[in-house]
Amino acid sequence: MSRSLAALVIGNSKYKKAGKLKNPANDATDMAAVLTACGFSVTSVVDGTHKQMDKALGDFKAALKGHDVGLFFFAGHGVQIGGENFLAAIDVKTADETEAKHSSLALNKVIDTMEAADTKTNIIILDACRNNPWARAWRGGEERGLAPVYAPRGTLIAYATSPGQLAGDGKGRNGAYTAALLEHMATPDVTVEAMFKRVRNTLSATTAQKQISWEHTSLAGEFYFNLSVAARITDYGAAALGDDLFELDTSKKSHKIIASLKTLTWPRQNPAIDEITPALIAKVAADTLFVLGRNIYQSAAGNANSAIAYINDFTAKTTGTDKNDRKALLDGMLFEIFFDKTGTLRDQPKFRRFNEVFDLQRFAACKPSFDFIAACLLPYAGRYYAIPGKGHKVIADVRLGEKEKDAVLEVFVAGQQVLRRDSDDLPAWDDDEDKIYYRQRSKAQFKAWLEEELIVPARLLKIGYSRDVASGETLRVPMGWTCRLPA
C-alpha cells in the first residue's frame, strides 16, 4: 500500500501591525518536520506576506495533481469578517475590514483549491483562533474566533477551538493546540478522527478545559498519518516484519537454519547456508522464507562467507524455485537492510552488503522485490535523495579546494550543497566547533563513503569533480561532516 501525500504549511509570527506572536513560526517548522516524517512532501512558508501566501497556494494547487492526500496547515492570526474566515499575512492591511479581506488569504479559497484537486482526502488544520487585534478599529465590531464552514466531500477541517471561541499562544515553544497535534500525529495506526480526539483530550487537560478543539468532517474513507510497516505491507505477517516476534520451531529444518544464522558464529552460519537448496525452499511458507532472507543478509553483513556467496550467486542458487518463493527470500534481505527486528526503520541502513544485494536489481526476475522495498520506504521518501529500489541514478558534484587541492569543500546533489557538519559526530578530543579536521581517503574510499552517505548503490551513483582526480589520488574529507538528509 503506497500513498502520495502533499502539504502546505504556513506559520506567521512577525506581524507588522499586530506585534509578534510567539509560537506560529515554531509551529510551522515543527509541523513540517512531523509531516515529512509521515511521508508528506511539504512546502513551508514562515512569516509570509500576502503575495507569498497566495503564490504558495498556487504552487500547492499544482503540487496536488497526482497526489492522494492534501493537507493545509496555518498558524497565526485568523479573523472572521462578515461570517467568512481570513488567514492574515504578516503585511495584512488593517485600516478596515475591506482592506484586511483583500490582503489576507481567504479560507474559502484554500477550500476551493483543494476541492478542485483530484485528491481522495483533504485535511485543513487551523491554529488561528486568536483574538482579532484590529477589531476595535473596525466599524463592524469583533466577531470572535473563526466561523464554521462547509467541508466538501472527502475533507476534514480542524480548528484549535470551537467556532466563535478564542485560542491563545502556548507557554512553550508551540501553541497549545499545535503541541497536542505534534504529540499525537505520528502515533502509528491511529485514524485521523481518533487522532483528533486524542488531541482534544490533551488540549482540554493542558488548558484546564478553556480550549476545546473542534473538527468538521465529511471524510469518505479512513486516513492514517502514520501507518506502521505491518499495517501498510500485507505480503507478510507482523511476526515476519518484526522478526523478534517470529517463533522458531526447530523441529522444522528451515527454522533450524534460521536459529543457526541467528547465532552470529561463522562455524554454524556457513553450514546452515549450504543447506538452503531449491528443494528446501519449495517446502517453506512465505513468512518463513522472508525471515530466512533477513537472516541470510545479517549473516553476510557479519562476514559469513557462505552467506556472502549466496547473495552474490542468488539467481543461480534459486534457479528452479517458484518466483514467489524467490521474491520472499529477496524481500527479506532487502527489508533487513532498512528495518530492525521490530519492523522499525533503522536510523542508518545496514550497509555492509548493500551493493551486493542491489546489484541483483539488474535481473528482471528480481524486479518485484525492489518494487516491494520501494513501497516500504515510500513514506520515508524525505530521508532519501532517491528512494532505494526505484533504480534512479544520483549525480553528485564535488568541489575541491583551489589552494588545498585535495580538500573536499562542497558536495552538490540536485543543485543543493549537502555536505554539512554533523554536530553529533565531532571529534571527542576537541570541542572547537569552528575548526575542521580532515581524514584522508583514496578516490575509491571517498566514493564508497559517499555511496553510504547518500544511500545509493555504487552502480547508480555518478561523481563529478571540479578538477580531474587521478585514480590513485588521496582526498581529504572533513571529519564529523555528513551528506545524509536530516531524519
Amino acid 139: pLDDT: 57
The terminus-to-terminus CA distance of the chain in angstroms comes to 22
Distance, in Å, from the CA atom of 438 to the CA atom of 401, rounded to the nearest integer, reads 13
d(CA 258, CA 296): 8
Reported as type and span, the H/E element at residue 413 is: strand 408-413
Q: What does the pLDDT read at residue 379? A: 76
pLDDT for 133? 66
According to the model, what pLDDT value does residue 31 have? 96
pLDDT for 149:
84
Other CB atoms within a 10 A radius of the CB of residue 165 amount to 16
- Chain segment 157-170, per-residue pLDDT in tens: 999 987 666 666 66
Where in 151-200 does DSSP place strands (E)? 155-159
Q: Which grid cell sits at 465?
A: 569533480
Query: In order of start, what are the domains of the chain with their CATH numbers?
Result: 5-227 (3.40.50.1460), 230-383 (no CATH), 394-482 (no CATH)
- DSSP H/E element including 465: strand 461-465
* Cell, residue 277: 537448496
The torsion region of residue 438 among left (phi > 0), alpha (psi -120 to 50) and beta comes to beta
Q: What is residue 388's predicted lDDT score, i.e. its pLDDT? A: 96
Q: Would you state the pLDDT for residue 232?
A: 77
What was the pLDDT predicted at 164? 60
Place of cell 555511496: 451
- Estimate to the nearest angstrom the gap between the alpha carbon of 144 and the chain centroid: 37
Q: Which of 231, 163, 172, 179 is nearest to 75 (CA)?
A: 179
Three-class secondary structure of residue 438 per DSSP? strand
Low-confidence ranges of the chain (pLDDT < 50): 1
User: Residues near 49 by Cβ (< 8 Å), separated by ≥ 6?
Assistant: 89, 90, 91
pLDDT for position 1: 46
